[in-house]
Amino acid sequence: MSFFPPPETYPPDRHAGPPKASARWRRAGSPPDLVTGRGSCEYLATGAGTRGDYGLYRWNMGPEPSGPVPHVHRTISESFFVLDGVVRIHDGRTWSEARPGDFAFVPEGGIHGFRNESGEPASMLILFSPGAPRERYFEGLAHLAHGGQRPTDEEMAEFYARHDTWWVDDV
């Protein structure tokens, strides 16, 4: 009988050779990577920077109501961890208030949405897995929010489809 439990299965090795100093830093107080119409986004770890494993973003919302209505992603999961303020998160059934320390995981195909309707700023971490190139999606929406030329309905539908965002009606 062994003191240790049976071994778990880990992924295959992805690094061979000597250890190396390869950590990347983003210091507190660094300017946001993207300013949206009603807040900002910090690209903490992009899919490109994690070899497609995940993307991690700090989403900062101003006091004005903002956030997407219920939708799904077919190729990526999405997780939310509230840092500050109150964020309403849709879990596929209902909207619930999430406060600092609350966490929600949404697997691929799971209905979800989030909104800041509190009248106060709010901030959360958003994790996508695998690491899809969400930066272009966020930047496209910010361009529209800053008064960029409005695409046709067909162009918007293609934009959302290209970024694996599928709106859900009657939720």
pLDDT, average across residues 11-40: 93
8 token code pair: 């778990």
129 belongs to a structural domain: yes
94 belongs to a structural domain: yes
58 belongs to a structural domain: yes
pTM score of the predicted model: 0.90
145 belongs to a structural domain: no
5 pLDDT tier (thresholds 50, 70, 90)? confident
75 token code pair: 């190729």
Give one DSSP letter per residue of 36-83, joined into a string: -SSEEEEEEE-TTTTTTS-EEEEEEE-SS-B-PPSEE-SS-EEEEEEE
170 pLDDT tier (thresholds 50, 70, 90)? low
Omega into 130 within 30° of 0, i.e. cis? yes
List, for residues 83-104, the tens digit of each pLDDT value.
999 999 999 999 999 999 999 9
Q: Supply the pLDDT for residue 107.
A: 98
145 pLDDT tier (thresholds 50, 70, 90)? confident
Q: In what order do the strands lie in the sheet with 39-45?
A: 34-35, 39-45, 55-61, 122-129, 77-84, 103-106
Residue numbers of the domain that contains 64 = 34-140
Dihedral angle at the C-alpha atoms of 160, 162, 165, 170, nearest 10 degrees?
A: 60
161 pLDDT tier (thresholds 50, 70, 90)? very high
147 pLDDT tier (thresholds 50, 70, 90)? confident
Q: What CATH number has the domain bearing residue 72? A: 2.60.120.10
pLDDT at 2 over 80: no
170 belongs to a structural domain: no
26 belongs to a structural domain: no
Domain count, the chain: 1
164 belongs to a structural domain: no
Q: Supply the pLDDT for residue 149.
A: 80
46 belongs to a structural domain: yes
Instruction: Report the share of the chain in percent with pLDDT over 90.
Output: 84
